[in-house]
Structure 1
Amino acid sequence: MLRTAKTVMLSLCLMVMLSSCSHSPTGRNQLLLFSGDDMANLGQRSFEEMKKSQPISDDKAINAYVQCVTAAILKVVPPQSNFSEWEVVVFDSDQVNAFALPGGKIGVYTGLLDVAKTPDQLAAVIGHEIGHVLADHSNERLSRSQLTALGLTITGITLSDNPYGDLALAGLGLGVQVGILLPYNRAQESESDKIGLQLMHQAGFDPSASVTLWQNMAKASKGAPPELLSTHPSPDTRINALQTGVNQLPNVPHRLTSSCPRPPSKKQSKNI
């Protein structure tokens, strides 16, 4: 009976994997278990909760600047089937961060402007975050997490009669995390860098600013974990890959380098 249950569960896993395979915009194989509508609803609900729990910037100049850069990027983004409009919110926080969620929700923290110091550098971040949405990365990560949990459940059944089962499961959990989830996330980050480069280039920003941005990020970050155990590529790896990507883009004039006036950062404002 137990062996039959194991066989059925393993067969179900195989069926899920075979029936849910897809490809990202760069041609990478993906496993997507959830519908686009489900992911859009999840992103929208999460964003509404964030707007309730985090302070939103009321600085008109900063909001106009972020909206200007984002609007330029969105002009070259194709229409999405699961939502009709993108929403951009600037959160008043010292975090050096930005994000984009399924359902077309974009958040930018004011602290990012102390590192992304030009419109082109901000465009590199915005393009990268939008790339996560275009490549269904949230769906991919959630799907992989669900499949990993199912795999650990099956393994737990298999090891249930083994006196060393608990120890084996603990080691397997670490192996799954280091060997599957983290490298997989690094692949997503690198893919979003490629998509972001294309978007900012098509929108008229200077793609070489992405290299300067990550040089700034490297200077601002301290005590980062080693690349092997990080969900992001190391700064050097990222910078080298971005420079390679920039060199492969066609040489066209950069139309929007100064079209979005940059307001003073928080740090600059305090010194005025």
Structure 2
Amino acid sequence: MLKKTLLTAVIAMTMSACVTSPTGRSQFIFMPDNQVNQMGLQAFDSMKSKNPLSKNQRYSQFAQCVAYSLTREVGGQWEVVVFEDDTLNAFALPGNKIGVHSGLINLVDNQDQLAAVIGHEIGHVLSRHSNERLSQETAVSTGLSMVQAVAQPQTALGQTALGLLGVGAQYGVILPYSRIHETEADTIGLDLMAKAGFDPRQSINLWLKMDKAAQGGQPIEFMSTHPSHASRIDNLNQHMNQALQLQQQAWNMGKQPRCAK
């Protein structure tokens, strides 16, 4: 009886964790957002205490100008910090925290290319990707995926649960989901930069520069788990016409960022 009651409770909790991302993709999320946000705040504070911050005011002003132009489109209070780090990287954490490495600022040619990266990272936050990953991995460790797979194996969530079992937990679902998240963040970031008035076409130039830098042997932490450059650019091109329309609408509303590197 206790086992049946526990099974029912777990199934109910798991079913309530089915949500939809901003692009319409089905997600499995059950971690409280405030808890995930607190984790993001703690991680950001730790990074600031352990890693050197850039003393280049021009870099900080540039990154903040670009980031704040983007975050005005989504609302909330965001903190933006430039770290003194030569790697080509940027990130955004739950709790509205944005970090940019000085190496990335050195790489980009203009505000639009930096907006492509920061917009992508904000896309991860808007899509609650951190919560989704935590929820998936928590489900694996607690056995929730096993219960859901047995209970409703034909549902999308049930299929995800099946993939999380055994070897699938390492190769079948969780790692590929990272690539799904990256593609989703690309799409959201492209629209976001366009809505803020940045030129979305520069996102293509940015990834071409990243590709060239990678071939030159530069460390690119940002690209470590991302889709191939070709598939990323193809996805961006598929959404470019819509993004250009959003940019024109932004310009008609007077949104024309002027962030000088």
Pick the TM interval, shorter chain.
Answer: 0.7 to 0.9
Structure 1's consecutive aligned runs of 4 or more residues displaced over 4 angstroms after TM superposition are: 7-13, 152-155
Could you tell me which of 64, 84, 90 is aligned with 1:67? 64
Matches within 5 A, 1:1-272: 13-79=10-76, 85-151=77-143, 173-222=166-215, 231-249=225-243, 250=245, 252=248, 256=256, 259-262=258-261
- Determine the C-alpha separation between the residues in 1 that align with 2:85 and 2:167: 33
Flag structure 2 segments of 5+ consecutive residues without an equivalent: 148-164, 218-223
* AA matched with 1:96: L
Amino acid at match of 1:204: G
The answer on whether the counterparts of 1:183 and 1:231 sit within 8 Å (CA) in structure 2 is no
| CA pair 11-220 structure 1, distance change in 2 beyond 3 A | farther
Tell me the CA shift for residue 39 of structure 1: 1.3
TM-score w.r.t. length of structure 1: 0.77
Q: In the alignment, is the contact (CA less than 8 A) between 1:100 and 1:130 conserved in 2?
A: yes
Offset at 1:13?
A: 4.6
**Cα displacement string for residues 24-66 of structure 1 (whole angstroms, at most 9, x for unaligned residues):** 1111111111112111111111110000000000101111111
**Equivalent residue letter for 1:186:** R
CA distance in 2, matches of 1:186, 1:9: 34
The one-letter amino acid paired with 2:259 is C
Once the two structures are superposed, what CA deviation does each residue of 1:55-105 show, in whole Å capped at 9, x if it has no partner? 0001011111111111111111134xxxxx210000000111000001111
Once the two structures are aligned, what percentage of the paired residues are identical? 45
TM-score (normalizing by structure 2) = 0.81
| 3-state SS of 1:25 partner | coil
| Residue 160 (structure 2) aligns with | none
Aligned to 1:199, the other structure's residue is in SS state helix
Q: CA RMSD in A?
A: 2.5
Contact 1:99–1:106 (CA under 8 A) maintained in structure 2: yes
How far apart, in 2, do the equivalents of 1:154 and 1:22 lie?
20
Please report how far the alpha carbon of residue 199 of structure 1 lies from its aligned counterpart in structure 2 after TM superposition. 0.8
Change (3 A) 1:131 1:154: closer
Deviation at 1:14, TM superposition (A): 3.1
- Residue of structure 1 in register with 2:153 after alignment: none
Which amino acid counterpart does residue 17 of structure 1 have in structure 2? Answer: T
Q: Which runs of 5+ in 1 are unaligned?
A: 80-84, 156-171, 224-229, 263-272
